[in-house]
Structure 1
Amino acid sequence: MNIDRISRWHLLYGLVFAIIGMVLGIYMASSQNHVQHVTHAHILLLGFVLSAIFAVIYRLWLPASSVKWALAQTACHQLGTAVLAIGLFLLYGQVAPEATVGPILGIASIGVLLGAVLMLVQVLRAESRPSVMPKASAAT
């Protein structure tokens, strides 16, 4: 297991969330029922956009990051986002009442927040510039 693989996981998860979010958006548009707009926004922003940003951060700034930290961050973000999306879908689809889903949404939200905090910690511990930038040589 390495950071390149974790970066790829974030990218793949993000693309899956993008497809799910787009399908939900197309369904809402075709049915003219936009009750799931909150779910749609969370899937696209947390699932797609933030996952893609995390993939780029791992690729550019964190190639030497600890795999354990990266796995913990990935698990918190991806599991939290998936549970949050499912919970919101059930809540706004009136499949489950807020009293049932609310605590689950709270825990999932904390998981997503913890994933962001773990990413911040890794970035703060890393070098200050992207790894794709050439290092200054001692000969110049």
Structure 2
Amino acid sequence: MDRKFILTAFGYAVLGLALGIYMAASKNHGQHVTHAHFMLIGFLLSFIYGLCHKLWLNNSTSKLAIIQFYVHQIGSAVILIGLFLLYGQFVDLETIDPVLAVASITVFAGVILMKIEFVRCTRNT
């Protein structure tokens, strides 16, 4: 699990930094919220989850760990795509807001699942 999280984290970092470089080059910073979310929930949170699996959860591949991985990735991807569409003015807020709300709750559920994994963890540190 640690490797999956780290690889996806760096994928989000590449996309987020590419978006940041594009904004700087074009002098159009309209996607700054999307860029921030790529770097925070995409890169940073995925990277932290990878470290948690490596250092404390014995790189668990339990059903709960697999579910938590996909819950986080699906929620993150939907948020990032939704924010890109919103701030790129491809869709209006009324249309995308319910999608972003559900995706945000999905990422939140991923955090709760990680907490449960830690509570269940029997490894002494």
TM-score with structure 2 setting the length: 0.95
1:119 to 107, 114, 122: 114
Q: In 1, Cα distance between the equivalents of 2:124 and 2:72? A: 24
- Alignment gaps of 5+ in structure 2: none
State whether residues 11 and 55 of structure 1, in contact with CA within 8 Å, keep that contact through their aligned partners in structure 2: yes
Q: In 1, Cα distance between the equivalents of 2:124 and 2:29? A: 42
Whether 1:22 and 2:17 are equivalent positions in the alignment is yes
Whether 1:7 and 2:5 are equivalent positions in the alignment is no
2:81 to 74, 79, 86: 86
Q: Which has the higher helix share?
A: 2
- Alignment gaps of 5+ in structure 1: 1-5, 131-140
Give the share of equivalent positions with the same residue, in percent.
46
Which structure has the bigger radius of gyration?
1
Distance of aligned partners of 1:27 and 1:122 in 2 relative to their CA distance in 1, 3 Å threshold: same
Equivalent residues in 2 for 1:41-56, closer than 5 Å: 41-56=36-51
Q: In 2, Cα distance between the equivalents of 1:72 and 1:65? A: 12
TM-score with structure 1 setting the length: 0.85
For residues 55-97 of structure 1, the C-alpha deviation after alignment (integer angstroms, 9 at most, x for no partner) is 0101111117461100111011111001100000000110011
State whether residues 69 and 118 of structure 1, in contact with CA within 8 Å, keep that contact through their aligned partners in structure 2: yes
What is the RMSD computed on CA atoms of the aligned residues? 1.3
State whether residues 78 and 103 of structure 2, in contact with CA within 8 Å, keep that contact through their aligned partners in structure 1: yes
Q: In 1, Cα distance between the equivalents of 2:59 and 2:82? A: 35
